[in-house]
Structure 1
Amino acid sequence: MENSAEWLEWDVARAREWLVVPRPGDDKYSRGVLGVFTGSHDYPGAAVLGVEAAMRTGVGMVRYTGPSSVRQLVLARRPEIVGVGGRVQAWLIGSGMTSSRRTLILGGELAQATAQGVPTVLDAGALDLVHEARGSVVLTPHYRELAEVLAETDRRAGHAAGKARAEHGSPPTAAEIAARPALWAVRAAEQLGATVLLKGSVTYIAGPDGARFTVSGIPSWLATAGTGDVLGGILGALLATRHSTIAQDAAAIAPIAATAVLVHALAARRASQGGPIVALDVAEAVPATIAAMLAGD
């Protein structure tokens, strides 16, 4: 591992501190409300998987405000979600979306969500919104997506790009990021001013404040369609349940992100038992995984 002395391997003992158990006086609002704006005509399943994972992670309520055609599929799977807008404590945005196919109306709706200043997960087709988002942001790219975000950042810099290149060099390719993920997770967090969760067999979580966490031992069976959408749902839910903590200390974002990755990995291991899995298997294993983590297993 590159610069291994600077990175802390996240484990169950540390993660347990960031899992929230409801108290007798809690209600669905105090437990956290997650806004979800995900899915598209081409990839509706991303919304279904993200919402499924979020509900199983312990959030009090999910408000789904994505495309109306997708909303019907989400409601069919999870009738307890709320399909209208309202106050939220965190956002999950972009899973199953494509930035190149963003309409003006959709762009305006996404801008309204990211302007609210609550903790926000930007995934897939919303990664480019890091430059507009207010509040604490977590990006969840894989190598190719991070290369695209950094290239777009370089283009946006315009006349200032020369200075950026002098400090960091030209934007990296996906292959360069894959070869040195620790380095580029840190650089991306510094350049973008956001927490970067760089997905891989070892996942690197780097915060703009200097936080450096890794989660290793991630099952290779997770390399299948839709599991990233499940991770987004877990992360969004944990941000919503910890919204008051984040409001007091934005540095809480990185350990919460690391906890989400660990929950995701352990749920995959529980679901797999050494064999193949699909994304929904991982989401369904989340409650038992969290229970085991809370018990110190």
Structure 2
Amino acid sequence: MTRSWSADDAQRVLGRPTVDDDKYSRGVVGMRTGSRQFPGAAVLGVEGAWRTGVGMVRYVGPDRPARFVLARRPETVTVAGRAHTWVLGSGTNAQERTDAESDALRAILGGTDPVVVDAGALDLAASATAPVVVTPHAGEHARLRETLGLDPTTARNPSSAAETAAALDAVVLLKGALTVIAAPDGWECHIEAPTSWLATAGTGDVLAGVLGAVTAGAAARAASVSLAECAATAVWLHGHAAQLASSAVGGGPITALDVAEHLPIVVGRLLGAA
């Protein structure tokens, strides 16, 4: 059965920090994103994660994007270590990936912590044993379906996300003006973007960071929410931050960084209504 997602739903998934919390109990997001060619993807994803409200962001990507990340967000940790959730692939290209990088990604995908798989890591999703949510746009979804032996020509059809989720045994977040979240057990949610200005470069990288933060927070709290519910909450927050960013400039165009910068207001209002 297909459902929508509301503020009450998102509020239930998010957690408010308490006096007993520390940076670890609030959740740690590990990010292996960005590349020499696309360092901005790392910056946007890290920004999205921090702005959603998480205890720590651990960035372990290449040196060039790491420098940009630290210039923008100096509180980011850039040494390897544990994370409650990993975000992989944003701003990377599978064709240019080294064997060592493939091995590192497979090690994360072979673990037990939830993993957000985006862009250049989508080709490895089928081999994962960890709980996974993939975040393709329509073109990436077509390629993913082809590798799974499914019809790629139906990739833009919202109903195809459920078929992909079942074949992959993972949550599918199919991005678009209508975003579809589908789980292997048949759970499905449709969320319409509240503004078309969201269709701009880099917003998918921000969404991956938001999803990493929401999922890490839930994992750290051992909250009884599903990965699909975390995905729906991330899409809801992302869309409402975009709408707020556009409203701040008279309903006009926005950039991906504008979306990230408005996330704290959306989260604050949501939890303030609790």
Bin the TM-score by the shorter chain.
over 0.9
Task: Compute the RMSD of aligned alpha carbons.
Answer: 1.5
How far off its partner does 1:138 sit? 0.4
The answer as to 2:253 corresponding to 1:258 is no
76-85 or 287-296, which deviates more:
287-296
> Equivalent residue for 1:171?
151
1:28–1:244 Cα change, 3 Å: closer
> Equivalent residue for 1:161?
none
The answer as to 2:20 corresponding to 1:8 is no
Query: Sequence identity of aligned pairs in percent?
Result: 48
The answer as to 2:79 corresponding to 1:80 is no
Residues in 2 aligned to 1:60 and 1:295: alpha-carbon distance in whole angstroms: 19
Residues in 2 aligned to 1:244 and 1:45: alpha-carbon distance in whole angstroms: 28
> Equivalent residue for 1:90?
85
How far off its partner does 1:245 sit? 6.0
User: Which sections of structure 2, spanning at least 5 residues, go unmatched?
Assistant: none
User: Is the CA contact (8 Å cut-off) linking 1:12 and 1:296 kept in structure 2?
Assistant: no
How far off its partner does 1:244 sit? 4.5
The alignment partner of 1:35 has SS state of strand
Residues in 2 aligned to 1:152 and 1:99: alpha-carbon distance in whole angstroms: 14
Partner AA of 1:80 in structure 2: E
Give CA-to-partner distance per residue, 1:13-70, whole Å, 9 cap, x none. 1111011111101000111111000000111100000001101111100110111221
Which residue of the other structure, out of 181, 188, 212, is the alignment partner of 1:212?
188
The answer as to 2:47 corresponding to 1:52 is yes
The alignment partner of 1:79 has SS state of coil
Which residue of the other structure, out of 253, 257, 262, is the alignment partner of 1:276?
253
The alignment partner of 2:81 has SS state of coil
Partner AA of 1:137 in structure 2: V
The alignment partner of 1:215 has SS state of strand
User: Is the CA contact (8 Å cut-off) linking 2:93 and 2:120 kept in structure 1?
Assistant: yes
Partner AA of 2:233 in structure 1: T
User: Is the CA contact (8 Å cut-off) linking 2:26 and 2:221 kept in structure 1?
Assistant: no
How many residues were matched structurally? 271
> Equivalent residue for 2:214?
238
Q: TM-score, normalised by structure 1?
A: 0.88
User: Is the CA contact (8 Å cut-off) linking 1:56 and 1:286 kept in structure 2?
Assistant: yes
Which residue of the other structure, out of 113, 117, 125, is the alignment partner of 1:118?
113
Residues in 2 aligned to 1:186 and 1:132: alpha-carbon distance in whole angstroms: 19
Q: TM-score, normalised by structure 2?
A: 0.95
Give CA-to-partner distance per residue, 1:73-102, whole Å, 9 cap, x none. 111111001000011110000000111111
Residues in 1 aligned to 2:79 and 2:185: alpha-carbon distance in whole angstroms: 35
User: Which sections of structure 1, spanning at least 5 residues, go unmatched?
Assistant: 1-5, 155-169
1:245–1:129 Cα change, 3 Å: farther
Partner AA of 2:152 in structure 1: P
User: Is the CA contact (8 Å cut-off) linking 1:118 and 1:134 kept in structure 2?
Assistant: no
How far off its partner does 1:285 sit? 0.1
Residues in 2 aligned to 1:115 and 1:189: alpha-carbon distance in whole angstroms: 18
Residues in 2 aligned to 1:93 and 1:256: alpha-carbon distance in whole angstroms: 17
Give CA-to-partner distance per residue, 1:268-289, whole Å, 9 cap, x none. 0000111100000000000001
The alignment partner of 2:13 has SS state of coil
Moved over 6 A (4+): none
How far off its partner does 1:296 sit? 3.5
Q: Looking at CA atoms only, which structure, 1 or 2, has the larger radius of gyration?
A: 1
Partner AA of 1:95 in structure 2: S
